[in-house]
Amino acid sequence: MTQGENTEYRIAHLRERLASEDIAELGVRIEMRGGSVLLSGTVSTPACRDEILRIAAAELAGLPVLDDLTVAHSNAPDAPEELA
């Protein structure tokens, strides 16, 4: 197995873990960018983001991981929305 095939296998395994574990996060995109792996998308909570990064670090140990995950804000609005 070449280094590229090994990396693709590890990325596929990471996708499976993110879909099947307690976090069940399907909205995270994982792609190779040069020699790095980019994680992008929107997650529900900061704890979820931290868990995804922890799992990615374990699955992709030795590979540079770029984090472009954002946390969705689900706070109630503090003022009414004015429609024109």
Domain tally, the chain? 1
> How much is the pTM?
0.77
**39 and 17 in contact (C-beta within 8 Å)?**
no
Q: Order of strands across the sheet with 29-33?
A: 29-33, 36-43, 65-71
pLDDT tens-digit series, residues 29-77: 999 988 899 999 998 889 999 999 999 999 999 999 999 999 987 776 7
3-state secondary structure of 4: helix
CATH of the domain at 8: 3.30.1340.30
Structural domain that includes position 47: 3-71
